[in-house]
Amino acid sequence: MSDNLTISSGEDTFDLAITDGTIKATDLKQVATSDGPLATYDPGFMNTAACKSSITYIDGDAGILEYRGYPIEQLAEQATHLEVAYLLLNGELPNAEELAGWEREVNTHRFVHENVAQIVESFRYDAHPMAKLMAGVASMQTFYPSARQIEDPESQRRNIVRLIGKMPTLAAWSYRHSIGRHRVYPNDELGYVDNFLAMLFQSQQRVYRPDPRVSRAMEVLFILHADHEQNCSTTAVRTVASAGNDVYTSAGAGVGALFGPAHGGANEAVLKMLREIGSVDRIGEFIDGVKNGKAKLMGFGHRVYKNYDPRARVIKKATDEVFEVTGRNPLLDIAVELERIALEDEYFVKRRLYPNVDFYSGLIYEALKFPPEMFTVLFAVPRTAGWCAQWLEGVTDAEQKIMRPKQVYTGHRERAVVPIDQR
Least separation in angstroms between CB 359 and ligand SDX: 7
Which of 27, 263, 345, 397 is labelled catalytic?
A: 263
Rule CB under 6 A: say whether 238 interacts with ligand SDX. Answer: no
Rule CB under 6 A: say whether 351 interacts with ligand SDX. Answer: yes
Which member of 129, 299, 310, 394 binds ligand SDX (CB under 6 A)?
Answer: 299
The phi-psi region of residue 293 (left if phi > 0; otherwise alpha if psi is between -120 and 50; otherwise beta) is: left
Burial of 110 (0-12, 13-18, 19+ CB in 10 A): buried
Reply yes or no on whether 263 is catalytic: yes
Q: Strand 36-37 vs strand 32-33: parallel, antiparallel, or unpaired?
A: antiparallel
Nearer to ligand SDX, 53 or 231 (CB): 231
Least separation in angstroms between CB 351 and ligand SDX: 4
Least separation in angstroms between CB 232 and ligand SDX: 6
Rule CB under 6 A: say whether 271 interacts with ligand SDX. Answer: no
CA 208/CA 306 separation, integer angstroms = 41
Nearest to 162 by CA among 125, 136, 129: 136
Least separation in angstroms between CB 266 and ligand SDX: 3
CA 264/CA 232 separation, integer angstroms = 9
Helices (H) and strands (E) in the chain, counts: 17, 7
> Rounded to a whole number, what is the distance in angstroms from the first to the last CA of the chain?
60
Reply yes or no on whether 302 is catalytic: yes
Interaxial angle between packed helices 96-107 and 81-90, expressed in degrees from 0 to 180 and rounded to the nearest 10: 100
| Count of residues in the chain | 423
Which member of 113, 148, 183, 303 binds ligand SDX (CB under 6 A)?
Answer: 303
Least separation in angstroms between CB 47 and ligand SDX: 11
Rule CB under 6 A: say whether 75 interacts with ligand SDX. Answer: no
Nearer to ligand SDX, 116 or 226 (CB): 226
Which member of 140, 298, 377, 388 binds ligand SDX (CB under 6 A)?
Answer: 298
**Which residues between 192 and 221 bind ligand SDX (CB under 6 A)?**
none
DSSP lists the bridge partners of residue 56 as 67
Interaxial angle between packed helices 232-242 and 375-395, expressed in degrees from 0 to 180 and rounded to the nearest 10: 40
Nearer to ligand SDX, 80 or 390 (CB): 390
Nearest to 178 by CA among 320, 383, 418, 370: 370
Pair 254, 233: CB distance under 8 Å: yes
Rule CB under 6 A: say whether 300 interacts with ligand SDX. Answer: yes
Rule CB under 6 A: say whether 67 interacts with ligand SDX. Answer: no
Q: Which stretch binds ligand SDX (CB under 6 A): 25-33, 134-142, 274-282, 293-301?
A: 293-301
Q: Which stretch binds ligand SDX (CB under 6 A): 93-101, 155-163, 196-204, 294-302?
A: 294-302
Least separation in angstroms between CB 356 and ligand SDX: 4
Which member of 297, 318, 322, 377 binds ligand SDX (CB under 6 A)?
Answer: 297
- The one-character DSSP state at 146 is G
Which of 358, 397, 412, 421 is labelled catalytic?
A: 358
**Which residues between 239 and 268 bind ligand SDX (CB under 6 A)?**
262-264, 266
Which of 194, 227, 302, 309 is labelled catalytic?
A: 302
Nearest to 90 by CA among 3, 153, 165, 43: 153
**Which residues between 392 and 421 bind ligand SDX (CB under 6 A)?**
none
- With CB atoms as reference, the residue minimizing the distance to ligand SDX is 301
Q: What is the DSSP string of 339-397?
A: HHHHHH-HHHHHTT--B-THHHHHHHHHHTT--GGGHHHHHHHHHHHHHHHHHHHHHT-
Q: Which residue ranges make up the site for ligand SDX (CB under 6 A)?
A: 228, 231-232, 262-264, 266, 290, 296-303, 351, 353, 356-358
Residues involved in catalysis: 263, 302, 358
